[in-house]
Amino acid sequence: MAEAQSYGIDTPGKIIAVHLNYPSRIAQRGRVPAQPSYFLKPASSLAATGGTVERPAGTELLAFEGEIALVIGTPARHVSPEEGWAHVAKVTAANDLGLYDLRAADKGSNLRNKGGDGYTPIGPVAIPTTGIGEGDWRVRTWVNGELVQDDTSDTLKFTFGRLVADLSQHMTLETGDVILTGTPAGSSVLIPGDVVEVEVDAPGAPGAPTTGRLVTTVTQGTIPFGDFGSKPQVDDLQRIEAWGSEEEHAAAVKAGRATPLDAPTAASPLTDAIREQLKGVAVATVSAALRKRGYVDIFIDGVHPNHEGDTILGTAKTLRFVPFRPDLFKKHGGGFNAQKRAFDTVNPGEVLVVEARGVRETGTVGDVLALRAQVRGAAGIVTDGGVRDYAAVEEFNIPVFSQGAHPSVLGRRHVPWETDVTIACGGAAVQPGDIIMGDRDGVIVIPPFLLEEVAAEAAAQEKADAWVADQVAKGAAVDGLFPMNAEWRAKYEAETGDKA
C-alpha cells in the first residue's frame, strides 16, 4: 500500500465513519443510539493538511466535524471489545466534512453528501498508540481562530475498542484502514474563505504528543450540478441542524454568514382586512357558516383559554405527539426534538396546534416553551393535552387553549414525534396553514379556501344577531324574530341598509 505522506498514514483501503458517539452531540441531535452505526467514505475524499475544499456551486450548508481517527495496525476479525484497542496502531486528526444540501439525495447512505473530493482531510501527523489508553485523547476544532469544539475520548458512548470489535464482526479490518470515531457538539457550517483547523492530542501522556493542526480552507465552487442527477435541496430543518440550533443559525444570519429561514411558500388568506372583518365575531357564528357548507367536525373539543376573554386567530403550525414507549422516547425525546423544533420555528401570526391525543394527564406545554412562542410572535397555542407551570403561563400574554393544568414533564405519556404534518387535535383534523379561531366557546378549524366567504357571511350574521338582540332587549318576542321572518327582515334592512 502506497505511503501518502501528506496524510501522515498509509492510504487506507476503507474509511469507516461513526454517526453518533459523543454524548454532547447525541444531546444536540436528540437521538440516542442503542448501538453504533456507520457509513463509508471513499479514499478519493482524502485531503492533506494545508489543502482546500470546495463548497459546490448552488449549495450553502457545508459543515465540518472534527474527529479522532483510528488507524488499524494488525488486522482485526472477530475480536472482543477488550481486544479492539490493541489493533489500533496510530491516532490522527480528521475532518468529516459533509454537505447537508445533499442529505435528501443520499437517503442515509451519505455517499454524495460526505464523499466529495477533499471531504476527509486527515493528518498531519499520526501518533503511535503505544503506552496511551483509548480514553486519553482529546479533539479540538477552530474556525477562523475561534475554538468551537473541545471534547475527550473518555466521554464516548462507544469506546474505540468496542467500535473495532463491532466492525470486526462483519468484516476484516485491515492494516491502514481508518475509523472516524464521531464528532462532539460544536459542528457547524463553513462558508468560502473560512479556515478550519482540527487537532488531536494526548495531553496526559508522556511528552503530550499531538497531531498538530489539520488546516483546511474553504473555496467557492463554480461548476453547477447537471440535470442528470439529484440536485441540492435545503429546508429550514436542514439549516437548523447544520448550524447546530436555531439560535446559532439566527446569529449567523445576523452576521451575514447564513441564509434566513424560508418564508411561507404561499401567502396566507388571513389578511389584515379579514382579521378586521372577524374582529368581534363569535366562533359560534363562524361555525354556523361552516355548518351550512357541510363542515360539522371542525371543533377542537375540550380546550379552554388560560385567560378569561382570550381570543385566538391565526394560521396553524402543527406538532404531533405519539404514545409513550421507552425505546421511542430514548431516540426522539431528547435534544432538539420535535417539540423544541416546533416552538423554535413558529412564526409571527401562527397558532401552534398540538396533537396530544386528548390526554390531559400530562403537560405538553410549559412556561419556557410558551414564553418562546410568545417571543417569536405566535398568535397562540392550542393543545388537547395539559399545560405544565400553568400559573406561570397565565402570566404571559400569549393565549393558550388546553385541557387544563398538569405538573408532569415530557416523557410520561408522550413522545414528541413530528412537526408540520396533518394532525388530529381534540377530534378535529388540522393541517398546516389551516385557520384557527377561538374564544370562550371553543376553538374551530377553518379550511383556508373557505375563509373569505365564511368571514364575510359570519360578519354579516354577527351584525344581524346584534340587531336581533337589541329588539329582544326592547321587549320583542323571539318567535318570528329569531330567525327573522319576512316582516322582521324588511324592518332590519330598512333600518340598517344591509341584507339579512
> Cα–Cα distance between 500 and 488 in angstroms, integer?
10
> Cα–Cα distance between 114 and 108 in angstroms, integer?
10
Confidence of residue 8 (pLDDT cuts 50, 70, 90): low
Tens digits of residue pLDDT in 180-192: 999 999 999 999 9
- For residue 418, the one-letter residue type is E
Q: Which residue has the cell 501528506?
A: 6
Contact 123, 93 (CB under 8 A): yes
100 Cβ contact partners less than 8 Å away, ≥ 6 residues apart:
61, 62, 63, 113, 189, 234, 238, 239, 241, 242
pLDDT at 446 over 60: yes
Tens digits of residue pLDDT in 286-336: 999 999 999 999 999 999 999 988 999 999 999 999 999 999 998 888 877
**Percentage of the chain with pLDDT > 90?**
68
Picking from 97, 123, 124, the residue whose alpha carbon sits closest to that of residue 112 is 97
91 Cβ contact partners less than 8 Å away, ≥ 6 residues apart:
68, 69, 70, 71, 126, 127, 129, 132, 137, 200, 202, 211
**Percentage of the chain with pLDDT > 70?**
97
Q: Classify residue 325 as exposed, middle or buried by CB count within 10 Å of its CB (0-12, 13-18, 19+).
A: exposed
Residues contributing to the annotated binding site:
366-369, 388-389
CA 389 to chain centre: 24
Mean pLDDT score of the chain:
91
Cα–Cα separations (whole angstroms), residue 431 to 272, 357, 364, 420: 22, 16, 19, 8
Please compute the mean of the pLDDT values over residues 59-76 and round it to a whole number: 96
106-120 per-residue burial string, b: 16 or more CB within 10 A, e: under 16: beeebbbbbbbebbb
> Cα–Cα distance between 183 and 139 in angstroms, integer?
9
DSSP 3-state assignment of 492? helix
467 Cβ contact partners less than 8 Å away, ≥ 6 residues apart:
492, 495, 496
Cα–Cα separations (whole angstroms), residue 64 to 112, 149, 260: 15, 10, 20
pLDDT score, position 6: 43
Q: Phi, psi (5° rounding) for residue 219? A: -120, 165
Picking from 321, 346, 172, the residue whose alpha carbon sits closest to that of residue 261 is 346
Residues contributing to the annotated binding site for substrate:
366-369, 388
163 Cβ contact partners less than 8 Å away, ≥ 6 residues apart:
18, 36, 70, 84, 179, 181
Work out the number of other CB atoms within 10 angstroms of the CB of residue 349. Answer: 17
Instruction: Give me Rg for the CA atoms of the chain.
Output: 30
Tens digits of residue pLDDT in 83-124: 999 999 999 999 999 999 998 888 778 999 999 999 999 999
pLDDT score, position 265: 46
pTM of model > 0.85: no
pLDDT score, position 4: 37
Residues contributing to the annotated binding site for Mg(2+):
389
Contact 406, 362 (CB under 8 A): yes
pLDDT at 263 over 70: no
Please compute the mean of the pLDDT values over residues 192-216 and round it to a whole number: 96
Cell, residue 284: 359560534
